[in-house]
Amino acid sequence: MHPATNGPPADQRQEFLLRLNAATPRVIVTPALLAANIGMFLVMAALGIHILGARADEYLRFGANFAPLTTNGEWWRLMSSTFVHLGILHLAFNLWALWDCGRLAERLFGNLWFAFVYLFAGVAGSLASMMWNPQAISMGASGAVFGVLGALLAYTMLQRGSVPPEVMNRLRVSTSVFVTYSLFYGFAQNGIDNAAHLGGLAGGFIMGSIAARPLDLQTRRAGNARRAFFAATFAAVLVTAAVRLMPDPGRIYRQAIDLQNQIEVFSAEDKRLSLAFQSIVDQTRTAKLSDDDALKELRVKILPAWDEAVARLARVELDAKAPARKDYELLLRYAVAHRDMIKAVADTLEAGDTEHEKKVAELRMQAESALKQYQERQKK
């Protein structure tokens, strides 16, 4: 597009609007995106999601982005997550910003190019979110909206002087409010992260640089096919590279599921064996069970079962950096100390010396300490 004339600002703005409307007569993508986001929000509300927000994991069934699921074949979450919002305030701010800057961006780039820039920026934001924090559940259109802002920035840099200062000044205020709010919300709220914002901004800027064309219709059509090919190739290469460089968060997720299952099995066995052991102790104290019979019960029934429970728990595979690693180590420490304490009780019954009694007391304290630490961590 030719630079704006040197006439009065009102004339510059009028000329710009005429060129803008001629280049893209109708804005259709921006309203469609708003409708899609609002529609998804209403569906979630109808299916039980509170309009002020819910736990992040409750949004997974609606397509929120979660690396262990996304990288396990559910790649559609890269896109679907951009239409899922964590409460009405999150939705309102994103759609206000989209409506405010989207209409201008759509007319500058054209309907199809704008749609491509928006969707690519959304995917770029989702990929950035997964690479930054694979264990986070993320959602929202803010990454895509940041992409629209990045595309506008690219346009004004490459087509310098084409957009009147009056138009850009009006956008600066709303953009500053949106960016400030989004960055703060990204730090303060789970489910929204600034990696997605920055990834979307970068993706939008790159695609905006490719798609930026003058508003003059004849110049605008020149090289359009070449731009489209380059944009599609770049998008394919970038997404493929990001996917290949992505760590395997699914491994940690699968390990966490296996650990939870093993903890449930161990807890049930621990309860059963502890009750059986206490019953033997009580019967011995009341002389209903002789020391020899108690020793036999411990050696034949209780200790083999404890050995199997400890061995099963020790076989759990868990990476050193797994979030539940400390919990697992405490539980395993409790299991080993408790098992060894019962062995020491059996040794005491068999040998009848004070050394074994001291060992029983030491091991009981170790078991109780590990269990207490584990239970305190579960409350956090």
Q: Are residues 158 and 43 in the same domain?
A: yes
Using the predicted structure, report yes or no on whether residue 5 has a pLDDT greater than 50. no
With bands split at pLDDT 50, 70 and 90, how would you rate the model's confidence at 36? very high
Contact between residue 348 and residue 357 where contact means Cβ atoms under 8 Å apart: yes
Instruction: Report how far residue 357's alpha carbon sits from residue 348's, in angstroms, rounded to the nearest whole number.
Output: 6
- Mind listing the pLDDT tens digit for each residue in 156-213? 888 877 788 777 777 777 777 777 777 776 666 654 578 888 899 999 999 999 988 8
Structure tokens at 227: 């731009």
With bands split at pLDDT 50, 70 and 90, how would you rate the model's confidence at 139? very high
pLDDT at site 9: 60
Q: Are residues 208 and 300 in the same domain?
A: no
With bands split at pLDDT 50, 70 and 90, how would you rate the model's confidence at 3? very low
In a domain, 3, yes or no: no
- Mind listing the pLDDT tens digit for each residue in 348-364? 888 877 677 888 999 99
Q: Are residues 194 and 165 in the same domain?
A: yes
Q: Are residues 52 and 100 in the same domain?
A: yes
Contact between residue 298 and residue 345 where contact means Cβ atoms under 8 Å apart: yes
In a domain, 374, yes or no: yes
In a domain, 4, yes or no: no
Give the phi and the psi of residue 138 in degrees, each rounded to 5. -125, 155
- Please provide the average confidence, as pLDDT, over all residues in the chain: 86
Choose the final residue of a domain: 247, 281, 306. Answer: 247
Q: Are residues 205 and 287 in the same domain?
A: no
What letter represents residue 202's amino acid? A
Listed in sequence order, the residues at least 6 apart from 67 whose beta carbon sits closer than 8 Å to its beta carbon are 130, 134, 135, 136, 246, 249, 250, 253
pTM for this one? 0.67
Choose the final residue of a domain: 196, 226, 247. Answer: 247
Listed in sequence order, the residues at least 6 apart from 160 whose beta carbon sits closer than 8 Å to its beta carbon are 3
Q: Are residues 187 and 325 in the same domain?
A: no
In a domain, 128, yes or no: yes
Domain range for 304: 250-379
Choose the final residue of a domain: 231, 247, 263. Answer: 247
Q: Are residues 155 and 228 in the same domain?
A: yes
Contact between residue 122 and residue 196 where contact means Cβ atoms under 8 Å apart: no
Q: Are residues 242 and 121 in the same domain?
A: yes
Q: Are residues 254 and 221 in the same domain?
A: no
In a domain, 2, yes or no: no
Q: Are residues 204 and 255 in the same domain?
A: no
pLDDT at site 6: 53
- Mind listing the pLDDT tens digit for each residue in 203-234? 999 999 998 888 777 777 777 788 888 889 98
The total domain count for the chain is: 2
**Cβ atoms within 10 Å, residue 63:** 22
| CATH of residue 94 | 1.20.1540.10
Using the predicted structure, report yes or no on whether residue 1 has a pLDDT greater than 50. no
